């Protein structure tokens, strides 16, 4: 319902020797990366301070130049992924541009441990390691940031489908409650880094795809003295595969940075989205099998839709002191106005939030050891208005609610690089959340009230050890929590549900990262997440829910990734093969709901097996051929596990050609998605109820075989 984001830049202050990259800092004066990392720092507009300190320098050689660097900044300091004691995945801009790239969904679905349910352009649900799988029509239990703007609302819901791929430089995804800097989200944290500008340019991309889909994206970048501006505008129209499935979406974004000096800079990020999308809704089993293109009859008859406009801003100021400190202060805010026409009523809602975030970072270097201490706090204030009306008359008010929600996060983190081999990261997040509910519909009495959750402390400890240049091992123990959504805080008659508690979990994990040969990388990790006070959205009607804490769940799993550069990537043809797999057994550990014991049952909406294989072939310097296949195992559709969706595998192919004539560049891209026309459920409405003699509607049909063509032209 509401959104939020965060952008962060940070300086490395030590030379770190790792298998894939070498980072040198001449006492905060220079940062020497490989070419790719230098480009990233330029794009991010980072500045490094200080004077040369030869005592920190050590002779280091790269293990190989064949393996691409993987550097992350999720903990505010740029470290190579090989040295990071946490489960983190990086999604690059190139990965985001693969496929039709209308939303980040395809790229997110290629991360092990992540499952993105995709119903329509405006109906999606992201789950990370099974967390959030029982949420009905949205994503919650994660924290997400776009630059300095939080995408996550005060009650934990996040809308990811609005994000424009062309505006993203990279995504860093922290899986599980493994971050102390961002509120200790139970499922994890997604950090979207907005694009900046390397040089002046302007370009336009037009995409045409199946089901009457057309998208235009115009981007431009300007660098002038100390000012850096990136701007984007896009418009998407689609008829959709199904009935009552039209979508119109437009996005606008400006990301600018001004450097006052080598020690200070100001960044301003503005983002807005306007969307109107009709809703075909889910189908029962016979409808899904026989007529997947049809909409649910009740939504089709009323031509149900969702329409909203939102805007967000983030302003951050960064200052680097002569004493090896960084001070960062940011403010952010958002507004959203929405309306949804549904078979049972008309929903109108509006929300707005404002927040502040500040932290200070101190780096201490003693001999070969480096200590990075970060501490700060975040304030968040949100007002959410929610009303329903009869479909017969907009004056026929059925409910009128206001909720004011606020929280404070205090975070502390210490990173210790004792040598080139041992890295320890520890953190603590303290959260205090409270809300004030105002009932403005008095037909059933005034149900207004205030409620505060007990303060939650979420510690984290991670250790990474470089056994040898080709092998590192890491372990991680962390705590996280998720607060109830707005609906879960109310009882059926509208009064406050004061018995409900935040859902909390403990994550333990052990993993390895290794380079088997000069061109083969491999990683694997085993994790177990214990969740207690499991939040259950018990459905009492077509639009009525009760939130209860019903028990515990267990989330054990094994994730693996491999990448093989078959041919020398500096020569052509070049070929890269990669893949990942997740083997999991997410289940209820102790779960009794309304007298029925579901202990031992599989969590609905989760698959025990998912895997992906991808081939990237560059026959020539300017030509790219991609092919990938993603498999998703069967999933239970309800808590009782009385039925399962079928497993499925989706294959996609794509060809791309990039050309350049002086300052003019062009790109031609075409692809086929769902190559073998597989019939599958792309999203499940878990625990969908049945009313009267009607069957429950669990299934959102996935798109059949479809095509896309894209043309990009630009000047640099």
pLDDT digits (tens, 9 = 90+) for 58-91: 332 333 333 345 555 666 555 677 778 888 888 9
pLDDT digits (tens, 9 = 90+) for 610-648: 999 999 999 998 999 999 999 999 999 999 999 999 999
Q: How far apart are CA 40 and CA 90, in angstroms?
A: 13
pLDDT at 42: 29
pLDDT value of position 631: 97
Element (H, E) at 571: none
Residues 351 and 336 sit within 8 Å (Cβ to Cβ): yes
Give the lowest-confidence range in 36-45, 211-220, 555-564, 590-599: 36-45
Structure tokens at 559: 């994730």
Mean predicted confidence (pLDDT) in 369-376: 90
Residue 51 has pLDDT above 50, yes or no: no
Greater confidence (505 vs 540) lies with: 505
Query: Residue 652: which pLDDT band, with cuts at 50, 70 and 90?
Result: very high
**Residue 462, Cβ density class (10 Å: 0-12 exposed, 13-18 middle, ≥19 buried):** buried
Report the predicted TM-score, pTM, of the whole model to 2 decimal places: 0.85
What span, in angstroms and rounded, lies between the C-alpha atoms of 405 and 403? Answer: 6
And the tokens for 329? 């202060």
Per-residue pLDDT band for 516 (boundaries 50, 70, 90) equals confident
pLDDT at 380: 93
The position carrying tokens 């090896």 is: 324
Q: What's the whole-number mean pLDDT along residues 308-337? A: 92
How confident is the model at residue 483, as a pLDDT?
82
pLDDT confidence bin for 22, thresholds 50/70/90: very low
Q: In angstroms, how far is CA 528 from the centroid of its own chain?
A: 21
* Residue 538 CB neighbours (<10 A): 15
User: Which pLDDT value is given to residue 495?
Assistant: 61
Mean pLDDT to the nearest integer, 290-296: 96
Q: Tell me, what's the pLDDT at 153? A: 83
**H or E stretch covering 403:** strand 397-417
Q: Are strands 422-439 and 520-532 parallel, antiparallel or unpaired?
A: unpaired
pLDDT of residue 655: 97
Place of tokens 């039209």: 246
Q: Is 47 helix (H, G, I), strand (E, B) or coil?
A: coil
Of 111-125, 345-359, 433-447, which range is least confident? 433-447
Residue 140 sits at φ, ψ, to 5 deg, of: -140, 180
For residue 488, the SS3 value is helix
What are the tokens at 294? 């049809």
How many Å separate Cα 673 from the centre of its chain? 23
> Pick from 416, 500, 346: which is nearest to 83 by CA?
416
Burial of 448 (0-12, 13-18, 19+ CB in 10 A): middle
- What's the first-to-final CA gap in the chain, in angstroms? 39
Q: CB-hemisphere CA count at 13 Å for 278?
A: 20
Please confirm whether the linkage preceding 573 is cis (ω < 30° from 0): yes
Query: What is the mean predicted confidence (pLDDT) over 154-182?
Result: 84
- The pLDDT tens digits for 518-569 are 889 999 999 999 999 887 766 555 555 666 777 899 999 999 999 999 987 7
H or E element at residue 36: helix 35-44
Q: Please determine, for residue 45, whether its predicted confidence score (pLDDT) is greater than 50.
A: no
Q: What is the mean pLDDT of residues 14-20?
A: 31
Q: Provide DSSP, 111-139.
A: STTEEEEEEETTEEEEEETTBTTT-SSSE
Say how far apart CA 493 and CA 510 lie, in whole Å. Answer: 46
CA proximity to 72, closest of 92, 98, 57: 92
Q: Which residues contact 515 (CB under 8 A, 6 or more apart)?
A: 19, 20, 63, 64, 67, 469, 470, 471, 521, 522
Tokens of 620: 């020539």
pLDDT in tens, 239-290: 999 999 999 999 999 999 999 998 999 999 999 999 999 999 999 999 999 9
The C-alpha angle with vertex 191 and arms to 185 and 197, in degrees rounded to 5, equals 165
Q: Are 416 and 423 in contact (CB under 8 A)?
A: yes
Instruction: Give 379's contacts (C-beta < 8 A, 6+ positions apart).
Output: 355, 356, 357, 406, 407, 408
Select from 280, 140, 105, 133 the least CA-distant residue to 686. Answer: 133
Q: Which domains, from first to last, does the chain contain?
A: 16-441+461-715 (2.40.170.20)
């Amino acid at each position: 319902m509401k959104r939020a984001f965060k952008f962060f830049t940070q300086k490395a202050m030590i030379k770190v020797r790792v298998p894939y990259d070498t980072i040198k800092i001449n006492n905060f004066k220079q940062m020497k990366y490989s070419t790719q990392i230098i480009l990233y720092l330029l794009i991010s507009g980072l500045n490094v301070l200080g004077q040369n300190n030869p005592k920190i320098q050590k002779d280091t050689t790269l293990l190989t130049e064949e393996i691409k660097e993987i550097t992350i900044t999720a903990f505010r300091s740029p470290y190579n992924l090989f040295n990071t004691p946490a489960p983190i995945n990086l999604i690059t801009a190139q990965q985001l541009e693969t496929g039709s790239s209308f939303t980040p969904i395809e790229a997110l679905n290629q991360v092990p441990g992540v499952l993105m349910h995709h119903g329509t352009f405006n109906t999606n649900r992201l789950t990370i390691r099974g967390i959030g799988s029982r949420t009905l029509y949205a994503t919650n239990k994660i924290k997400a940031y776009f630059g300095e703007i939080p995408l996550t609302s005060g009650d934990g819901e996040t809308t990811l489908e609005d994000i424009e791929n062309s505006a993203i430089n990279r995504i860093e995804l922290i899986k599980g409650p493994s971050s102390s800097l961002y509120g200790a989200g139970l499922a994890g944290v997604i950090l979207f880094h907005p694009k900046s500008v390397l040089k002046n340019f302007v370009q336009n991309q037009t995409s045409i795809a199946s089901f009457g889909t057309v998208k235009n994206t115009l981007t431009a970048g300007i660098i002038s003295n100390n000012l850096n501006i990136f701007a984007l505008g896009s418009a998407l129209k689609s008829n959709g595969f199904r009935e009552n499935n039209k979508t119109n979406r437009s996005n606008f974004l400006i990301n600018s940075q001004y450097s006052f000096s080598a020690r200070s800079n100001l960044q301003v990020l503005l983002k807005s989205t306007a969307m109107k999308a009709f809703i075909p809704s889910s189908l029962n089993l016979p409808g899904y099998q026989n007529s997947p293109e049809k909409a649910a009859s009740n939504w089709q008859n009323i031509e149900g839709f969702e329409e909203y406009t939102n805007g967000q801003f983030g302003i951050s100021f960064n200052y680097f002191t002569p004493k090896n400190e960084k001070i960062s202060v940011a403010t952010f805010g958002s507004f959203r106005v929405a309306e949804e026409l549904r078979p049972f009523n008309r929903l109108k809602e509006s929300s707005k939030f404002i927040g502040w975030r500040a932290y200070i970072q101190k780096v201490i270097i003693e001999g070969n050891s480096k200590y990075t201490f970060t501490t700060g706090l975040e304030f968040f204030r949100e007002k959410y208005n929610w009303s329903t009306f009869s479909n017969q008359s907009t004056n026929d008010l059925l409910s009128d609610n206001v909720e004011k929600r606020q929280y404070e996060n205090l975070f502390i983190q210490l990173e210790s690089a004792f040598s080139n081999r041992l890295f320890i990261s520890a953190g603590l997040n303290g959260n205090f959340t409270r809300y004030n509910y105002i009932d403005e519909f008095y037909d059933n009495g005034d149900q207004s009230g205030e409620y505060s959750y007990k303060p939650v402390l979420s510690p984290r400890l991670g250790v990474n050890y470089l056994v040898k240049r080709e092998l590192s091992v890491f372990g991680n123990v962390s705590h996280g929590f998720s607060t109830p959504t707005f609906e879960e805080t109310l009882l059926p008659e509208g009064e406050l549900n004061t018995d409900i508690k935040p859902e909390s979990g403990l994550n333990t994990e052990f993993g390895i990262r290794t380079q088997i040969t000069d061109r083969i990388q491999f990683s694997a990790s085993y994790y177990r997440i214990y969740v207690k006070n499991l939040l259950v959205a018990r459905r009492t009607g077509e639009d009525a829910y009760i939130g209860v804490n019903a028990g515990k769940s267990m989330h054990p799993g094994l994730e693996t990734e491999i990448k093989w550069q078959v041919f020398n990537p500096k020569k052509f043809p070049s070929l890269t093969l990669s893949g990942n797999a997740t083997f999991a057994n997410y289940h209820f550990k102790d779960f009794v709901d309304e007298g029925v014991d579901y202990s031992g049952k599989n969590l609905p909406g989760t698959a025990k097996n998912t895997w992906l294989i991808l081939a990237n072939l560059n026959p020539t310097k300017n030509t790219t051929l991609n092919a990938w296949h993603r498999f998703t195992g069967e999933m239970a559709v309800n808590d009782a596990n009385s039925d399962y969706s079928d497993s499925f595998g989706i294959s996609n192919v794509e060809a791309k050609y990039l050309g350049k004539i002086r300052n003019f560049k062009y790109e031609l891209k075409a692809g086929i998605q769902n190559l073998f026309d597989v019939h599958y459920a792309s999203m499940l409405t878990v625990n969908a109820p049945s009313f009267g003699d009607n069957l429950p509607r669990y299934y959102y049909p996935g798109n059949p075989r479809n095509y896309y063509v894209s043309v990009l032209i630009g000047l640099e």
